[in-house]
Chain A
Amino acid sequence: MRAKQRLLRGLCAAAGLMLATSSLHAAGQYGPGVTDTEIKIGNTNPYSGPASSYGINGKVHAAYFAMINERGGINGRKINYITRDDSYSPPKTVELVRQMVEQDQVFLLFATLGTPPNMAIHGYLNDNKVPQLFVATGADQWNDPKHFPWTMMWLPSYGIESRIYANYILKNLPNAKIAVLYQNDDYGKDYLNGLRAGLGDKAAKMIVATQSYETTDPTIDSQVVALQASGADVLLTAAIPKFAAQTVRKVYDIGWKPTHFLNSVGNSVGTVMKPAGLEKGVGTISATYIMDPTDPQWQDTPEYKEWLAFMNNHGLSANVTDVQAAIGYSYAQTLVEVLKMCGDNLTRENVMKQAASLHNLRLPLLLPGITLSTSADDFDPIKQMQLQKFDGTTWKLFGEVLSGS
């Protein structure tokens, strides 16, 4: 009897001790780069080099995290945002990311920008089980949780966008002869392949010409001329801002009047349509998921005003017409939301788990009706877009929110 009691007491004590230690452990469930007061986040952005117009993303993240920190951080922890310039050059990205993971000991990589730079660190981060969260590229391949459980995308994938165009063409322009101008890399080819997939067995007949360009080409005039000569009456352009602007202008200058679908990567009013000449882009169609800051219909909304005040308060007034600044803002908000969801369990495993359980998350600058959802086997949060037409000053939304999956 007495022996039994003693055993029981011993067991209780042991259980108590275990409970105590486990609860002690729970208070400090931290991965690398996290302490009671700080979460270290790593990022690469092209602040110089050919894709540097996207560098505004990193600047907006930094400003947004600074604002969160001023307001007391996330559950008392401040974000220490380390963002470095990789010039959109993959070897540089690898070097910087290794440095951030091994020396700076960042908790996770956030919104690293560009398809080739992300390709270069994809394997490394997954091998080392470091989250590569919300990559700033829309390539289709990022949504592959089975093989790459540590990589998650954010943007609607290029393929989804291209399929939305394909669906629109099939429905409204069934006899279209389609020409495609694309950047000669994975990003451009995703659009081409997405279009082919969306058109299905009609693709071979409908796509009459394709031309590609290299980012080192000074102009794409020759490609546009060749596409016009194919007799196409629909043009899909998958190009970054500089070449998108040149295309809009050249198509107009040579008197070609196709139904022009312009990819969301290069449809900013400030950096594409305005340099091209506003009147030259009238009628161009594009797809979007985010409120364009130049669209007057948003400018009275509290969401826009809050964003504008944020931009002006953080020395970013020069970029208030750039849709990329609205995108960077939404990226940062998504990360803050996920880190909040993690509570005090800030391990790399948990951050991936929380990121994979977004359920209709609404962000202020996303178009009405568009939300973020993820699951264990779907790592592409945004799958809806809406078509819009350029009227000479701004993009005008039309039709309903479309799903491209």
Chain B
Amino acid sequence: MHQLLQQIFSGLAAGAIYASLALALVMIYRATNLVNFAQGEMAMFSTYIAWTLVNAGLPFWGAFLITLAVSFLGGMAIERIVIRPVENAPILAAVVVTIGLLLIFNSLAGWIYSYTLQEFPSPFPDRPLFGALMTTRDIGVIAVTLVVLAVLFCFFRFTTTGLAMRAAAQNPESARLCGIHVGRMLAIGWGLAAAIGAVAGIMVAPALFLDPNMMSGVLLYAFTGALIGGITSPVGAVIGGLIVGVTENLVGTYLIASQLKFTVALILIILVLLFRPNGLFGTAIVRRV
């Protein structure tokens, strides 16, 4: 019984990590209709920026805000420089570009910061909770993920920019005719996704330790989470991430050997795509021609 609870709570802690990156994936998909394979590596790179700032003596939250700003601008710059030229090319071209970005950021981080494992400070105290089922740190990660979720939800639901961004992603031609600056919307979308990724990276680094490969394993689980929730829904991404974390632990412990945990995520992706392509909370994107 104790083990079951512990597996569930460990799963929730891991799920929160997946969820935080899944949010960034949803953000970019909502804003640009594109899956960004480099999202994890961009988040990792942002985390290194935060790490540099903290090591330079800045207080944690100061470094956090600067990193978010730098990541936002960096994300916009990436959109301008490498995504815009393939804007009108087939979707595959953009996907290949994001895979290229993945490799570039990974190698760049290794080149600049070396591949040595670094410890990253956590803004939350490190105390066991509920009879050592979780630590205060895990709760902190979940809380921050929920805050990001709330901000995102309000942004898309209640702000004109959010609405304009959705319009620009779904139907660029009509949006342009309505007076929306589509290019700017896409750039802001990339910037926001990069900033959300930075939050994810900074939150998971104390748990996974910072190295250039920190996010490579997380990305696939985050994809699974985002897909389960329906790739368009922020709420779905968080719930999806948590589902993946818990399912992976329970199935890995009680049904199959832990060697197959990774496979569980892949099977979940296939099942969702087969039986519920829009995920639990996603809406089918309907386009009028």
Contact = CB atoms under 8 A, between A and B. Distances in A.
Given A214-B259, A219-B208, A275-B209, A55 B6 contact: no
Given A216-B217, A245-B117, A222 B258 contact: yes
Contacts of B208: 218-219, 242, 246
Interface in A213-255: 213-214, 216-219, 221-223, 225-226, 228-229, 241-242, 245-246, 253-255
A226 B3 contact: yes
B interface: dominant SS: helix
Contacts of B217: 216-218
Contact of B11 (A216, A222, A223): A222
Contacts, number: 110
A277 B120 CA distance: 11
B170 interface: no
A198 B133 CA distance: 35
Given A218-B14, A225-B6, A255 B128 contact: yes
A254 B262 contact: no
B107 interface: yes
Given A225-B3, A226-B258, A216 B14 contact: no
B160 interface: no
B135 A214 contact: no
A48 B116 CA distance: 10
A221 B221 CA distance: 15
B221 A275 contact: no
A254 B117 contact: no
A148 B44 CA distance: 42
Given A245-B209, A275-B118, A221 B14 contact: yes
Contact of B211 (A53, A246, A272): A53
A222 B249 contact: yes
B17 A242 contact: no
B249 to A, nearest CB: 4
Nearest to A244: B117
B101 interface: no
B117 A53 contact: yes
Contacts of A277: 126
Contacts of B220: 216
B261 A217 contact: yes
A242 B20 CA distance: 21
Contacts of A216: 216-217, 220, 262
B33 interface: no
A16 interface: no
Interface string A252-277: 01110000000000000011101101
A271 B115 CA distance: 10
B116 A271 contact: yes
B261 A214 contact: yes
B41 interface: no
Given A222-B11, A246-B209, A48 B132 contact: no
A24 interface: no
Given A217-B217, A253-B132, A241 B259 contact: no
Interface in A1-56: 46-50, 52-53, 55-56
A318 interface: yes
Contact of A242 (B11, B18, B106, B117): B117
Of A56, A213, A222, A223, the most chain B CB neighbours within 10 A belong to A222
Nearest to A241: B117
Given A48-B106, A48-B107, A226-B258, A53 B209 contact: no
A350 interface: no
B161 interface: no
A270 B119 CA distance: 10
Contact of A218 (B3, B114, B218, B257): B218
Contacts of A217: 217, 261-262
Given A213-B258, A222-B248, A225-B3, 6 more contacts: A52-B115, A53-B117, A216-B220, A218-B18, A242-B208, A242-B211
Interface of B: 2-3, 6-7, 10-11, 13-14, 17-18, 106-107, 110, 114-119, 126, 128, 132, 135, 207-209, 211-213, 216-218, 220-221, 248-249, 252-253, 257-259, 261-262
Interface of A: 46-50, 52-53, 55-56, 184, 211-214, 216-219, 221-223, 225-226, 228-229, 241-242, 245-246, 253-255, 270-272, 274-275, 277, 318-319, 322
